[in-house]
Structure 1
Amino acid sequence: MGTLLEILKGIFFFLTIVVGLFFLRGDVIISAQYYDIVRQVLMPGYLIFYGTMLGYIISRIWIGYDEEKPNKNQIYTKSFLIGIGIGILLAIIYIFI
């Protein structure tokens, strides 16, 4: 589970750059109609990744500096599910507001 979160962390950092560039210069790169459609798809997906990274931060705080905890995988799993839940909640709020 730790490896999955490390891979997702790399994807999140890359997606942060893509989202930033898109919102800065997206209307120049593509037409205004496509800009709105892509924004409606890209932002909820990014918010789900954001929730996943919050779950990763929660797990690292929960584990602390003690890497010898026997139930690290359970902590990662619980935090991953908490993070996904937060991300889905944020995406739903974004869609309906």
Structure 2
Amino acid sequence: MASKNGSGWGFMSGLVVGSLLGAALALIFAPQPGAATRTELKRRGVALKSDPGSVTATVKLRANELVDRGKLAVREAKEAARRTREEYERDLDRAQREGGLPTHAGGL
């Protein structure tokens, strides 16, 4: 897991900056008159300046959601691996008891 000063936060801030730049470029190259584009850029810039904390809060919220989803996926994968191992061990024991396999199966 990346620390707060690690590459995870650098990635998220880069993602936000890249998204903002992409949105600005999309507005610049959109098929509309120059005056309308400049007005839209100004409007969005003012909105961002007036509430930059909302962008940060949104990024943190999404990052936390992704971390939680990742933790859940890891727990589910561990549980699935545990069940698979138990099934394998039961099948191996059964095969050994029925004489289908030698009693030493390669150190398993």
Q: TM-score band, normalised by the shorter chain?
A: 0.3 to 0.5
**Superposition TM-score, scaled by structure 2 size:** 0.35
**Superposition TM-score, scaled by structure 1 size:** 0.38
Q: Which structure is richer in relative contact order (CA contacts within 8 A, separation 6 or more)?
A: 1
Larger-gyration structure (1/2): 2
Structure showing the higher helix proportion among its residues: 1
